[in-house]
Amino acid sequence: MKNNQTRFSPRIADNLFDLFNVKGRTALVTGAASGIGKRIGAVLVAAGGDVYFGDIDEKGAHAAAQEANAIGTGRARHVQLDVTDPGSVKTVFDRISKEAEGVEILVCSAGVSKATWIEHMTLDMWNKVLDVNLTGTFLCCQEAARSMVPRRWGRMINIASIAATHAPKPKRFDGGYNYSASKAGVIGMTKRLAVELAPHNIAVNCISPGIMETPLTQKALTEEETLKQVLDSVPMRRVGQPRDLDGLVVFLCSESSGFLTGQDILVDGGYSVW
């Protein structure tokens, strides 16, 4: 077997930077009216993507798309999307197929949390969180696969959570059994999808943020004791911000991540290893 050495082109720098953009790609981001989803949508627009901001809050999605259009080189549009409703999901994907020939990048960021002690958690509370966080991700991935398989290219990024694998140390976050279960399910589903869609050149990965300042955590993080417990649990001694995902998102959505699939990537300031 010959020992083939890599030959570097004089234009390697240009080729490298070309890898890290999504110019001309059509993306759908769910939960894009606020928090992590809103930030991801804006980042993909800045990287040259044609991005649909999807959310059940249509007014919020519209406002987020307008903000992104003011800063990006791509284009942002909004759609009303209820990820728990198969009809709503299909309608959105059908619209994107007509307007932009289908979804090439899917980021599932829609999520809710309803926490309480186990003896007080109702079945409705359990089901609501599983419906949005897990079933909603499944429905969107299902439609995305139908769009991506024929074109033999695609990127799916599912937003999971550190809570899928670690019980949060701050006591303020106790009781999120449904949330942890839903995010663990997202990771498991992602790994299976990655294997089964790989022959079609579709990469499927998870991002699991640590404790980040988002609408879901903002109130808790204003409490002095909760914030102290968080900072004591994070080696980097700060709370995460949605912007901490920017580079990873572009990488996972671009050509540069073509041989990376089935991974759960933790972005947590060291929380999970301490």
**C-alpha to C-alpha distance for 42 and 32, rounded to whole angstroms:** 9
Between the CA of residue 145 and those of 71, 138, 247, what are the distances in Å? 30, 10, 24
Q: Are 202 and 149 in contact (CB under 8 A)?
A: yes
Phi, psi torsion values for 144, nearest 5 degrees? -65, -40
Residue of 52, 177, 179, 271 marked catalytic: 179
Two tokens at 167? 């019980």
DSSP conformational letter for 190: H
179 is catalytic: yes
Sign of CA dihedral 31, 33, 34, 38: positive
Under DSSP, is residue 261 helix (H, G, I), strand (E, B) or coil?
coil
Between the CA of residue 240 and those of 96, 213, 269, 272, what are the distances in Å? 32, 6, 7, 13
Active centre residues (catalytic): 179
